[in-house]
Structure 1
Amino acid sequence: MKEQEQKKHRSGRRLFKGLLFLAACGLVMAIMVYTPIFTLQRVEVSGISYLTREQVLEIGRIHTGEPLFQLQTDAVAQNLMHDLRIESAVVRRRLPDRLEIEVVERKPVATVACDYGYLDLDHNGKIIAAYRALHSVPIPLITGMEVKGLYLGDEVKDENVKKVLYFLSQIDTEALNQISEVNIANPDGVVAYANSSVQIRLGKLDRLDEKAVLTADFVKSLKTSRHAIDYVDFSYEAPFIKLKGFDPNLEKEEGKS
């Protein structure tokens, strides 16, 4: 009987210690969740160039002042990725009062006209923004065609548009912002235009990686060029630059005389 009573006594003590431990853990958790020390005060956002910090907070449904440990980082990341402009997002807590958000944007590469306005496309042709009037975002406008019946989240399937988007996606942001238009009305004679209206003759949509490098270098050099350039032709293996007021045929004639 004594042994049974001792066992009951020991099991009772273990139960009491277990309950005490759980209560202590609950108290610690309550302190961590509700203490002002662990409330969200700072949100650091990286990886954005088109979205603003305020837009990221709104999309993620993040509010400063809320308990840091009540904030579900997975839910915030899912909220962000529901926005078509965001390709991926990683959200981390940083004690005592900080949230870190790393965003990979779906960057608009070009704009196309549609039957109700304009659409911004990413490098895959996915429509990530739509609006009625042309806005001032410094990305090229693809002309010579129009898409119809497509909306946010849809994908443009036109092969020539896909090739142009690939070409543009190989150009760095600094150079891309200096290209105003790519006209594909003639797929065998595609022409891009720099912001200074200088023609960049691309010809057929082939050798796109090579032409992207040449185009990026060319538009950057326009800032320091001492000559007025009429057009540059990258449709041939050997690039050709035509200066304004210069007639190569006339020079050939003068050389013969």
Structure 2
Amino acid sequence: MEEEKENCAVPEKKGGRRSPRRLLRGLLFLAVCAAVVAVLVYSPLFTLQRVIVNGNQYLSREEVMEIARIHIGQPLFQLQTDAVTRNLTRDLRIESASVRRQMPDTVEIDMTERIPVATAACDYGYVDLDRQGKVIAGYRTLKRMPIPLITGVVLHDLYIGDDNTDETVGSVLIFLQKINPEALNRISEIHIGNPEEIVAYTTDSVQIRLGNMERLDEKAKLTQDFLEDLEHAKYPVEYVDFRYTAPFIRLKNMPQVVARH
């Protein structure tokens, strides 16, 4: 009976072993995947050849690429879009940015710049100020920019990222941000040497006499309307005076009024 019991015993399970053929297939699959990844990453077909930048007005494409830390010839799949976006938004001149790849060789960048409203002289050269008075750029020599130059003042101890503390400059920036960009581009200079006799100059050297920075909203509206109409003026204008509630426009070659005694 014992022999019969032994013969009827359930055979033990053998240790599970993978088929050598299945193991070989798995290794082959991994090798193929690695080869595909290597082709995508290192193939000349997928290297960066074009950079498209949308939304830049003041920064050039080359400057944007330098800020983003990308360069032509870089493997496209080694480029991390999140890292590129962080590089861009760390620059004070850029408010927001998004980056995406376009197969097989392109990166497209959509960005919004912080808009400089005016340039002013400083200890080491010039600075660009945005609407809030933040310094968003600094340079040693004056650049040709389609924004007004504030003259009659030198700002001290101001560097990129700092905020303006000059009261008159702050008032001028508030005045300028109330004017639309098209009209603003027609102002070349604002002289604030005397805060009570501030004068703006158009790109055609027409004076806009503002006086002090009281009645900012009214003077900004008058200035914008004047700049928009100036392009279509029939007669050359010498200056416009907005210091008083009744604006006055003087034409060139207008005879002087001599007061009688």
Q: What interval of TM-score do these two structures reach, taking the shorter chain for normalisation?
A: 0.7 to 0.9
Which one of 49, 52, 62 corresponds to residue 60 of structure 2?
A: 52
The 2-side partners of 1:59 and 1:156 are apart by 25
The 1-side partners of 2:80 and 2:59 are apart by 22
Q: Is 1:108 equivalent to 2:116 in the alignment?
A: yes
Counterpart of 2:242 in structure 1 is: 234
Alignment of 1:165-244 (within 5 A): 165-244=173-252
Cα shift readout 1:78-107 (whole Å, capped 9, x = no counterpart): 333343433332211122221001122233
Amino acid paired to 1:33: V
Counterpart of 2:7 in structure 1 is: none
Q: Is 1:80 equivalent to 2:88 in the alignment?
A: yes
Counterpart of 1:141 in structure 2 is: 149
Counterpart of 1:156 in structure 2 is: 164
The 2-side partners of 1:156 and 1:80 are apart by 24
Structure 1 regions of 5+ residues with no counterpart? none
CA distance change for structure 1 residues 202 and 33 in 2, over 3 Å: closer, same or farther? same
CA distance change for structure 1 residues 10 and 209 in 2, over 3 Å: closer, same or farther? farther
Moved more, 112-121 or 233-242: 233-242
Shift of 1:226: 1.6
- Scaled by the length of structure 1, the TM-score of the pair is 0.80
Counterpart of 2:6 in structure 1 is: none
Alignment of 1:6-155 (within 5 A): 8-9=16-17, 22-155=30-163
CA distance change for structure 1 residues 65 and 184 in 2, over 3 Å: closer, same or farther? same
CA distance change for structure 1 residues 240 and 41 in 2, over 3 Å: closer, same or farther? same
The 1-side partners of 2:27 and 2:215 are apart by 72
Q: Give 1 or 2 for the bigger CA radius of gyration.
A: 2
Q: Give the number of aligned pairs.
A: 250
CA distance change for structure 1 residues 167 and 22 in 2, over 3 Å: closer, same or farther? farther
Structure 2 regions of 5+ residues with no counterpart? 1-9
The 2-side partners of 1:109 and 1:39 are apart by 38
Shift of 1:196: 2.4
Shift of 1:124: 2.0
The 1-side partners of 2:21 and 2:258 are apart by 105
Shift of 1:206: 4.1
User: Structure 1 vs Structure 2: percent identity of aligned residues?
Assistant: 58
The 1-side partners of 2:217 and 2:105 are apart by 46
- Scaled by the length of structure 2, the TM-score of the pair is 0.79
CA distance change for structure 1 residues 21 and 227 in 2, over 3 Å: closer, same or farther? same
Q: What is the RMSD computed on CA atoms of the aligned residues?
A: 3.2
Structure whose residues are more often helix by fraction: 1
Q: Secondary structure at the match of 2:110?
A: strand
